[in-house]
Amino acid sequence: MKKNKTHLISNGILIIVLLAVAFSMMVPFLWMITSSFKNNNEIFLYPIRWIPEPIRLKNYVEVWTKIPFFKYFRNTFLYSITVTVGQIITCSMAAYAFAKLRFPGKNFIFMIYLATMMVPWHAVMIPQFMINKRLGFYNTPWSIIIMNLVSVFGIFLMRQAMAGIPDDLCEAARIDGCREFGIFSKVVFPLCTPSLATLVVFQFTFMWNDYLAPMIYLDNDDYKTIQLGLASFRSQYNTDYGLIMAGTVCSLIPILIVYICAQKYLIEGVAFSGLKG
């Protein structure tokens, strides 16, 4: 009895502490949101007025007229979707070969794939840039799409999912006269949907947030991504804090939606990337 009581109290304290930590971790975002509804003078008032008064929508209206946000959104969406679809194809195909087929050199090739994971992207960005330029992809969306069309993470994730599917299932399909591509696309692939969801969410988030690669490759404003747009918007209007905050809020909305809808898959992906090490 007594133990239960102390337990209850300690749990209560823990929850209060956690709430305090959660609030302080959210403060930057809360401040961003409230500031986006204020004008410059109101933003830097102390103490902070968390609920703006009056609520000004002006920043949100202006943001869409002062900067081609829509164009940046559309571009980033297109790149993210292309890359995600591409990765689903390339990664799950490679994963199928590694998980379900037998051919000479398989383990060696897989080792090389894994080894490339240790190479930091920043170490190869210069030669990669030269190759992209040579292929004529520089300053076109293809530059950042093509080099992201495959990922070791994706292959590894899908291979793990496919390894869990019984070989008998494939064998049965083979006996039924199913071709290898048919077994892959009709039997194995549909059974991997949870891992596919993880891959999709991961890649989308990655592409949406990517900054350095688009910065290096996309000079033409028509091709720029949301992060580039946001960064240049910020340097252009660098004293108009309310406006900048409204733009930042807008840039975060798609990620927030993905997070709310598919949080489970994101967190699973992170746990997976940690386990594999």
Partner 1 sequence: MQKNDGKKNIKIKYRKSEVISGYLFILPSAILFLTFMIIPIFMGFYISMTNYDGFKTMDFIGIKNYADMFKDSYFTISLKNNVIYAVATVPGTIVLSLLLAVAVNKGLKGSSFFKTVFFFPYITSNVAVGIIWSLLFNPNNGPINNFLRGIGISSPPDWLLSTKWALPAIIVVSIWKSAGYYMIIFLAGLQAISKELYEAADVDGAGGLTKFFRITLPLLSPTTFLVVILMTISSFQVFDLINVMTEGGPGRATNVLVYRIYQEGFKYMHFGYASAMAYFLFFVILIITIIQFIGQKKWVTYQ
Which residues between 22 and 41 bind partner 1 (CB under 8 A)? 22, 25-26, 28-29, 31-32, 35
Residue type, 261: C
Name which of 57 and 126 has its Cβ closer to partner 1.
126
**Phi, psi dihedral angles at 266 (to 5 degrees):** -60, -50
Residue 275 interacts with partner 1 (CB under 8 A): yes or no: yes
Of the candidate residues 205, 218, 224, 246, the single one contacting partner 1 (CB under 8 A):
205
Of the candidate residues 54, 127, 177, 190, the single one contacting partner 1 (CB under 8 A):
127
Which of the ranges 50-58, 62-70, 187-195, 203-211 carries the binding residues for partner 1, by CB under 8 A?
203-211
Tokens at 130, concatenated = 């030269």
- Find the angle CA(248)-CA(249)-CA(254) to the nearest 5 degrees: 105
Positions 211 through 240 that interact with partner 1 (CB under 8 A): 211-212, 215-216, 227, 230-231, 234
Residue 78 interacts with partner 1 (CB under 8 A): yes or no: no
Of the candidate residues 67, 83, 91, 157, the single one contacting partner 1 (CB under 8 A):
91
**CB atoms < 10 A from the CB of 104, how many?**
7
The residue assigned the tokens 């950042």 is: 144
**Phi, psi dihedral angles at 250 (to 5 degrees):** -60, -40
Q: Which residues contact residue 260 at a Cβ distance below 8 angstroms, ignoring those fewer than 6 apart?
A: none
Which of the ranges 58-66, 77-85, 117-125, 190-198 carries the binding residues for partner 1, by CB under 8 A?
117-125
Query: What's the rounded Cα separation, in Å, for the pair 152 and 110?
Result: 10
Residue 97 interacts with partner 1 (CB under 8 A): yes or no: yes
Query: What's the rounded Cα separation, in Å, for the pair 141 and 55?
Result: 39
Name which of 94 and 196 has its Cβ closer to partner 1.
94
Residue 172 interacts with partner 1 (CB under 8 A): yes or no: no
